């Protein structure tokens, strides 16, 4: 599926219509790959942040938070390697004039070979029924083997070319595989060139000799340069972690998949500092913990997979992505990297300061090793929205559009609806609204029939609708409708808060990750 696909288009249109996400600077025809979050979008985003940040810093005694500046001393980016090596290989199609990342074109091609193999396997599974031995079939069937070998050969060739930073070899792969431009269908390609992704700007007036600064392309460096400050001021002992949520900026070459690849986006990163030699143990630990965090959102067990890296970044000795099944296929959602002592050592070298930690247990001084978990907040947002939005056919044959966002993340948690706009019902509903607003995000709505209001709340993903009717005036109870199964329960007003609290709390989901 591609950005042109109806389903993906529906998600984008739905996000705009209901105030989740708008194109940036829309009245000026937008700005490439820049988006604004609307009233519901900002609520959902804040809750995702909290689900991540709270999980990191509250459930782990040895992880603390930080909020570092977007501007950093320009030497930081020399030390980190971004000035010299934060490049993507770009290639242009001469007919469509579209620009692509050469590595992405090749990765998509590998995926195509794998998909062909999978199709053969699925067909055979249907044919053979219960007696089907999938592992054996994958090993022995010549057609399946042909596709799998093709994928593997390509993967190896790509890894070697990428490792050697060999742009001509990347171009050769694209030609040999006959990869065509998805827009024009042509093979009329330019050479592959390197392109640095950092945005730069000036600090101070130009007359005084302004210095060139970069907008940070990742939040991690703010954590590295503060490692000793945090360890000392928070009296932390290795192993310990520092977590941060913040903006990052990348001048992406290809930015066409809505909020999947933006030029201004937010990262949620945690750097975990460990004893040298312990890093691979912690790497495995965080891989597993992060996957459990994802699974606790219940977006679908089959929606995630690990992708272990063949080509390691210059700073890593092990790396994996958690990929998510987006509407356009499995793509990176989060990276988990064992970054060794590369960053801290480089900062020692470039700053002339020691970044060593004294370990009271071993009585040794060393530069800690780092395991990082790095997830894009906007990609997480897209993962949630994309799996939540659906069109359901109900028992009576009618349809409803519903966003099945996890209850504890929903931007509006409770809607309070007087059945009609008179007979004192709005007053009672307003009182309930006021009380519930102390604990929950509440919306009050009295316009249109109650059925239409239910549909509106379904469309924005509100888990509970509380309806005040004439009986309420007598029995002091209300009807609570559950978004997912549309069941209704009569609950005394005095018990409402108690009834809703556990159903909307994050702690239940957090517990499942422990």
Q: Which residues bind ligand ATP (CB under 6 A)?
A: 218, 250, 252, 261-262, 265, 267, 332-335, 374-376, 378-379
In the bound complex, what is the minimum distance in angstroms from residue 429's beta carbon to ligand ATP?
Answer: 40
Q: Are 437 and 501 in contact (CB under 8 A)?
A: no
- In the complex, minimum distance from the CB of residue 301 to ligand ATP, in angstroms, rounded to a whole number: 20
Alpha helices in 129-207 (DSSP H): 134-140, 142-163, 167-176
The alpha carbon of residue 467 and the mean position of all alpha carbons in its chain are separated, in whole angstroms, by: 35
| Cβ 98 to ligand ATP shortest distance, Å | 18
Three-state helix/strand/coil letters over 393-439: ECCCCCEEEEECCCHHHCCCCEEEEECCCCCCHHHHHHHHHHHHCCC
- Closest separation in Å from C-beta 8 to ligand ATP: 16
Which residue's CB comes closest to ligand ATP? 376
Angle between helices 6-17 and 377-388 (to 10 degrees): 110
> Cβ 216 to ligand ATP, closest distance in Å?
12
30 C-beta neighbours (distance < 10 Å), count: 13
Which sign does the torsion angle of CA 456, 458, 460, 463 carry?
A: positive
- Judge whether 403 and 385 are in contact, CB under 8 Å: yes
- Strand spans (E) along 56-131: 63-65, 87-92, 99-101
Residue 253 Cβ vs ligand ATP, minimum distance, rounded to whole Å: 10
Which CB sits closer to ligand ATP, 250 or 483?
Answer: 250
* Closer of 342 and 464 to ligand ATP (Cβ): 342
Measured from the CB atom, the residue of 330 and 366 that comes closer to ligand ATP is: 330
Angle, vertex CA 324, rays to CA 220 and CA 255, nearest 5: 65
With H, G, I as helix, E, B as strand and everything else as coil, classify residue 367. Answer: coil
Of 34 and 125, which CB lies nearer to ligand ATP in the complex structure? 34
Nearer to ligand ATP, 334 or 445 (CB): 334
Burial of 459 (0-12, 13-18, 19+ CB in 10 A): middle
Contact between 292 and 308 under an 8 Å Cβ cutoff? The reply is: no
Rounded CA gap, 63 and 57, in Å?
A: 5
Between 379 and 404, whose beta carbon lies closer to ligand ATP?
379
Nearer of residues 214 and 454 to ligand ATP, judged by Cβ = 214
CB of 128 vs ligand ATP, minimal distance in Å: 38
Work out how close the CB of 210 gets to ligand ATP at its nearest, in angstroms, rounded to a whole number.
27
Pairing of strands 414-418, 442-444: parallel
Element (H, E) at 121: helix 102-128
Whether the CA torsion 219, 220, 221, 222 is positive or negative: it is positive
Closer to ligand ATP by Cβ: residue 185 or 329 = 329
Cα 252–Cα 253–Cα 259 angle in degrees, nearest 5: 50
* Minimum CB distance to ligand ATP, residue 109 (Å): 16
The residue (of 113 and 379) whose beta carbon lies closer to ligand ATP is: 379
């Amino acid at each position: 599926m591609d950005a042109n696909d109806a389903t993906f288009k529906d998600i984008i249109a739905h996000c705009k219509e209901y105030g989740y996400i708008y194109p940036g600077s829309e009245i000026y025809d937008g700005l490439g790959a820049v988006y604004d979050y609307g009233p519901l979008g900002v609520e959902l985003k804040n809750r995702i942040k909290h689900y991540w940040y709270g999980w990191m810093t509250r459930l782990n005694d040895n992880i603390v938070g930080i909020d570092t500046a977007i501007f950093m001393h320009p030497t930081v980016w020399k030390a980190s390697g971004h000035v010299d090596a934060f490049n993507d290989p770009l290639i242009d199609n001469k007919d469509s004039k579209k620009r692509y990342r050469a590595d992405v074109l090749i990765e998509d091609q590998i995926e195509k070979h794998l998909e062909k193999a999978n199709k053969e396997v699925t067909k055979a599974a249907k044919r053979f029924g219960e007696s089907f031995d999938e592992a054996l079939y994958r090993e022995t069937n010549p057609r399946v083997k042909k596709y799998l070998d093709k994928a593997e050969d390509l993967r190896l060739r790509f890894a070697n070319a990428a490792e050697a930073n060999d742009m001509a070899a990347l171009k050769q792969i694209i030609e040999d595989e006959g990869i065509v431009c998805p827009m024009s269908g042509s093979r009329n390609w330019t050479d592959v060139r390197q392109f640095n992704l950092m945005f730069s700007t000036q600090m101070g007036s130009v007359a005084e000799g302004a210095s060139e600064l970069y907008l940070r392309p990742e939040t991690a460096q703010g954590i590295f340069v503060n490692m000793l400050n945090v360890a000392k001021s928070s009296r932390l002992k290795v192993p310990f972690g520092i977590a941060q949520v913040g903006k990052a900026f990348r001048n992406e070459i290809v930015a066409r998949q809505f909020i999947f690849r933006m030029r201004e986006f937010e990262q949620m990163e945690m750097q975990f500092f460990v004893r040298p030699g312990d890093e691979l143990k912690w790497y495995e630990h965080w891989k597993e913990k992060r996957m459990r965090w994802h699974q606790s959102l219940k977006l679908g067990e089959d929606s995630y997979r690990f992708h272990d890296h063949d080509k390691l970044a210059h700073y890593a000795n092990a790396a994996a992505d958690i990929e998510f099944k987006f509407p356009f296929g499995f793509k990176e959602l989060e990276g988990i990297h064992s970054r060794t002592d590369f960053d801290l050592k480089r900062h020692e070298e470039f700053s002339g300061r020691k970044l060593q930690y004294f370990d009271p247990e071993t009585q040794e001084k060393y530069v800690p090793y780092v395991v990082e978990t790095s997830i894009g907040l906007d990609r997480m947002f897209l993962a949630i929205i994309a799996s939540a939005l659906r069109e359901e056919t109900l028992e009576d044959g009618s349809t409803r559009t519903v966003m099945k966002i996890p209850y504890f993340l929903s931007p509006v948690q409770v809607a309070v609806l007087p059945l009609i706009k008179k007979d004192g019902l709005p007053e009672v509903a307003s009182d309930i609204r006021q009380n519930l607003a102390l604990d929950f995000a509440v919306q009050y709505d009295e316009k249109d029939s109650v059925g239409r209001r239910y549909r509106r709340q379904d469309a924005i993903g509100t888990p509970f609708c509380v309806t005040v009717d004439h009986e309420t005036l007598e029995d002091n109870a209300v009807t609570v409708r559950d978004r997912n199964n549309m069941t209704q329960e009569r609950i005394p007003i005095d018990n409402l808060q108690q009834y809703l609290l556990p159903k909307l709390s994050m702690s239940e989901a957090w517990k499942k990750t422990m």
